[in-house]
Amino acid sequence: MNRHLLTVTFALGLSHAGAAGLLHALNTAVSATPAPVAPLEVRVDGHALLTTEGTDAGAYAPLPAGPHTLEVRAGGRTLSTLKTTVRDGHAYLLHSAGGAGTTLVDETQAFEDAKVSDGRYGKALILNAWTAPVDVVRGKDVLARGLQPGAVIAVRQEDMTPDTQAYAFRQGTRTLNSTLVVGAPGATGIVALLGPGGHGPGEGVTFSTVSPLSAWDFLARQGSGGAPELSFARFRQALTDAGLEATLKGKGPVIVLPPTDGGVQAAGTRGQPAALAKAARVHLLASFPDFEKAFAGGADTPTLSGQTLRLVFRDVPGDTSGFPAPFFDDVSVVFTPITVSNGVVWPVGGVLRVK
């Protein structure tokens, strides 16, 4: 079964101010039937920086700005050596596929490269973080042939639609993997092929989204065009009623789990204006969840209200995607985390219970 790898470097990077970037090291198997893989060790200029736990595991660490030599090791041997210059505040994805090679991608710069000639942000950005050329296909349209490792293509804003679109990565007639992208207004989506993942024929895919707007302004933009399922008018009013508007407009970082208007409507009494305003602080996280713990069984995450939410990944009956879905307590996540100028917006499909 293919596995959806959720990259959260862009969110975690918010907590590392000063002359540093953030490194996310991802370790995957390379065979069709995954064999045990030694933990991945990353050294910077000869000093140990981080170690992953094993196959399909990731680890995060601040990376000092400036020129560095990164050494990637596993099982007591050096897999690869990379020379790079780390830029202040940038997030980097280091993907190692054992003997198949190692790729380092500056994700922050990749987002900047998505700007199109008229100055607007494109709605989708595709990068190949795999170790071989791939073709990128959307529907019947071939967007790129032989996209080289580390190369990036931008899908222009006017070529995106507000509904869900399927993107596939291919080599010849073989489809390596596919993913779905929703064209949320005011945001750029990034899709990265991270293989070989060793899960059947499919390689891992990450999808993340970034917006140049503040959290408050991003929520205000939704529903005015683009994806109608991402409208948050009722929650924005609840934030105002709870005195939290300035928090979402401020310097941050803020991590907000906004319920969609449809989710509020379906929440019954929890979605009534007074109850929603009371729950507003529960929808603001005090820190980003620990995804390793969440995948392993569950991660407790504090909120600004003092209440703790539990993030879990579980299979959903009738879901044919093959990917476990994230839930905060009993409320499902409906969209990938969206990086905004002062934090992260992670839309959910209902109103969280006040305990």
Domain boundaries, the chain: 9-210, 215-345
pLDDT in tens, 214-267: 899 888 876 544 455 678 999 999 999 999 999 999 987 889 999 999 999 999
Domain at 215-345: CATH code: 2.30.180.10
Token pair listed for 13? 């990077």
Q: What is the mean pLDDT of residues 1-8?
A: 30
What is the tens place of the pLDDT at every residue in 117-128?
Answer: 555 555 667 777
pTM: 0.64
Which band of pLDDT confidence, cut at 50, 70 and 90, is reported for residue 304?
A: very high
CATH of region 9-210, choose from 3.40.50.720, 3.30.360.10, 3.20.20.80, 2.60.40.1120: 2.60.40.1120
Cis, peptide link before residue 149, omega less than 30° from 0: no
In whole angstroms, give the CA distance from residue 258 to residue 66: 37
Instruction: Give the tens place of pLDDT for each residue, 277-287.
Output: 999 999 999 98
